[in-house]
Amino acid sequence: MSSYFTDLAQQYIDGEWRPGTGSWDIIDFDPYDGEKLASITIATVDEIDQAYRAAERAQREWAATNAFVRRTVMERALRLVEEREAEIAEAIISELGGTRVKAGFELHLAKEFLRDSIGLATAEEGRLIPSPVPGKENRLYRVPVGVVGVVSPFNFPFLLALKSVAPALALGNGVVLKPHQDTPVCGGTLLAKIFEDAGLPAGVFNVVITDIAEIGDAFIEHPVPKVISFTGSDKIGRHVATVCASRFKRVVLELGGNSALVVLDDADLDYAVDAAVFSRYIHQGQVCMAANRVLVDRSVADEFTEKFVAKVTSLKTGDPRDPETVIGPVINASQAETISSAVEQALAEGATALVRGTTRDNLVEPSVLTDLPAGSPLLRQELFGPVAFLIPFDGEEEAVRLVNDTPYGLSGAVHTADPERGVRFARRIDTGMFHVNDGTVNDEPLVPFGGEKDSGMGRLNGESTAAAFTSLKWISIQRGRSAFPF
């Protein structure tokens, strides 16, 4: 077992590693074999306050630090991730049941986002804006918001915490991070250790491991943070947005999805199968961008289905440490039960199981279902597990209607021999992101990432991240004398 789970099983507040003072412990388990990885005494409301106050104090000096010094810290953090990549991968496998392929995928993206944060550190922006007033000079400065509160999820905890934490720090902000209680190390204290070793001044970055049963809304309603970056379910995201709106806080909400991968009549079917299987079953389907629904033009549905089923049945389910394993465990027993219940519900509604996976503890084998009634609520909700719904359609008009028939609008993909046909199709879909001749699971440092409808508010990555974690400040200079009306 990695030493991370002994050395980092604490709170990190104001540059100090210390236990929480709550009355109970969060137990961190390996979801594959149930091994206890760590026991962490939770942080209280008082410690939430301490973390935010520390970030508030330290942020002023950090923001005044030369941008090239901040860049150096980001460069060191990247080198540390590269040097410790094998250890971090093992921690991802142990704490969240990620396969070796998944751990490599997550770390590759994490390094890309760290590289982008290096550039953000020196991307301070100032502009001169014309004025209709004689002798007036208008300056516009982009400045850090101050302190950012970040809530990270369990599915890609290292990457999705880093996506907010690193750019917020690079831009001169203080940060307090609350990781998901199922991934407190990979999604929380591991980042604290990296930035501590990279030379980030004490107090600028803090990590609190706790549960809403202990702190309620204290993390999001605290007066210090000006922005809350939340990644998680739309149900909780809606509550976060409500609380923050009542306190005039800015929010960035990266929420759930119910993405569709669409196979048109002229698609390369072998390639589309590969894209669809990856898009549905990567990390056991516990991905907000996963292709819950695979829509196939009826003229090619039989051939596609045969190839799709063959590939899904070849996927090995088991120990995520085995390099051959594609499907590892889901995060916990509750999630396994939710997925199994959804399959039973679909079958009770009349669906046909082309592949019927079994569930053993947290191992949920892949399933492929078809013939689900058009009115089934399962077709309109997010299913965070290795279950694919195959849906035939007749022509593009029906495909567009089916894809949009969901309260979510995060990602999607379409496969066609004509890329411009794909673009025309994509532009008709109510999503924040859509991909032609690719999978639904895509993320890059420079493109705006985010969804429409119940899939979130705001965008991250590149310029969108800079806008999310900074504010615009107008400073004018009057050269000469203004003429006042009285």
Residues annotated catalytic, as ranges: 254, 288
User: Is 241 buried (19+), middle (13-18) or exposed (0-12) by CB count in 10 A?
Assistant: buried
- Pairwise CA distance, residues 434 & 217, whole Å: 34
- Pairwise CA distance, residues 285 & 364, whole Å: 10
- Pairwise CA distance, residues 148 & 177, whole Å: 8
Q: Are 151 and 483 within 8 A, CB to CB?
A: no
Encoding tokens for residue 87? 């250890």
Q: 12: closest CA among 47, 38, 36?
A: 47
- Pairwise CA distance, residues 291 & 282, whole Å: 10
Q: 389: closest CA among 303, 266, 260?
A: 260
Residue for token digits 């292709």? 291
Residue for token digits 């410690």? 47
Encoding tokens for residue 16? 């100090």
Q: Are 113 and 166 within 8 A, CB to CB?
A: yes
Q: Where are the beta strands (DSSP E) in 145-214?
A: 147-151, 174-178, 205-207
- Pairwise CA distance, residues 214 & 396, whole Å: 50
The angle formed by the CA atoms of residues 202, 459 and 181, to the nearest 5 degrees, is 50
Total Cβ atoms within 10 A of residue 15: 16
User: Is 350 buried (19+), middle (13-18) or exposed (0-12) by CB count in 10 A?
Assistant: exposed
- List phi, psi (to 5°) of 123: -100, 30
Identity (one letter) of the amino acid at 202? A
